[in-house]
């Protein structure tokens, strides 16, 4: 099974900061990776798929990159509504595992 | 409006059973892969099971295989999860999702239904 790790697990930032979250796969998954944002008490929402494709309606300050085993999610200028938990998910093969999550908190 | 609405959650004793339902509206349900994802209190997301549009391909997480059964009724725009032999580790919010490997993402999620397993 493919395992995903994320780091950092906790990220402190101020509004306007540029932040990057990393997701690493235990084996190569090409670009079969998605990123989600989850706010407390809500269902997750997809931000990025195929490693770098922005989901329709998602602000352009979010971007994704990577191939193979290492992927990043970048927020170019953090906004107040971006403080949430972020998860990666691989779709290369079943089981389609999620990463453990990165919580973005206000500094 | 495209929507997924889960129901059937509740409180159940260890060893008991529960059947979750998810009703879809606003899109062509019969053409999509659909899935169940769960989240234990204060924890991360865990994929549970997936079923293809025609029910030919079905997958389960190791943690539920042999105890849970996923099914769908395309005529009723509905997805189901029959959960047997429940343990406290199965406690959490269960989300119905739409999308799969070909989509490269879960593009739609329901609001979730809470399952609490108590001894």
Copy the structure tokens of residue B78: 């509905």
- pLDDT tens digits for chain A (107 residues)? 999 999 999 999 999 999 999 999 999 999 999 999 999 999 999 999 999 999 999 999 999 999 999 999 999 999 999 999 999 999 999 999 999 999 999 99
Q: Taking CA B96 as the corner, what is the angle to CA B93 and CA B101, rounded to the nearest 5 degrees?
A: 125
pLDDT of B73 reads 98
Q: How many CA atoms lie within 13 A of B25 on its CB side?
A: 5
Q: Name the residue facing B111 among A43, A49, A98 (closest C-beta).
A: A43
Indicate the average pLDDT of chain B: 97
- Residue of A5, A6, A95, A97 to mutate, testing the B interface (most B Cβ within 10 Å of its Cβ): A95
A72: β partners: A22, A65
Question: Which helix H or strand E contains B78, and what residues bound it?
Answer: strand B78-83
Quick check: B105 and A46 CB within 8 A?
A: yes
């Amino acid at each position: 099974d493919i395992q995903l790790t994320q780091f950092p697990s906790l990220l402190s930032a101020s509004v306007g900061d540029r932040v990057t979250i990393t997701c690493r796969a235990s084996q190569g998954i090409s670009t079969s990776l998605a990123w989600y944002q989850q706010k407390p008490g809500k269902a997750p929402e997809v931000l990025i798929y195929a490693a770098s494709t922005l989901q329709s309606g998602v602000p352009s300050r979010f971007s994704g990159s990577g191939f193979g085993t290492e992927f990043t999610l970048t927020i170019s200028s953090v906004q107040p509504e971006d403080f949430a938990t972020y998860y990666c998910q691989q779709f290369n093969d079943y089981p389609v595992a999620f990463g453990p999550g990165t919580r973005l908190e206000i500094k | 409006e495209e929507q997924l609405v889960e129901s059937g959650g509740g409180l159940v004793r260890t060893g008991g059973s529960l059947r979750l339902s998810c009703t879809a509206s606003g899109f062509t349900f019969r053409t999509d892969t659909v899935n169940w994802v769960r989240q234990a209190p204060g924890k991360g997301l865990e994929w549970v099971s997936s079923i293809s549009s025609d029910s030919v391909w079905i997958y389960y997480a190791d943690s539920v295989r042999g105890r849970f059964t996923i099914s769908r009724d395309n005529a009723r725009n509905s997805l189901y999860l029959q959960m047997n032999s429940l343990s406290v580790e199965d406690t959490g919010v269960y989300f119905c999702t739409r999308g799969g490997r070909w989509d490269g993402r879960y593009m739609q999620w329901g609001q979730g239904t809470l399952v609490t397993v108590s001894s």
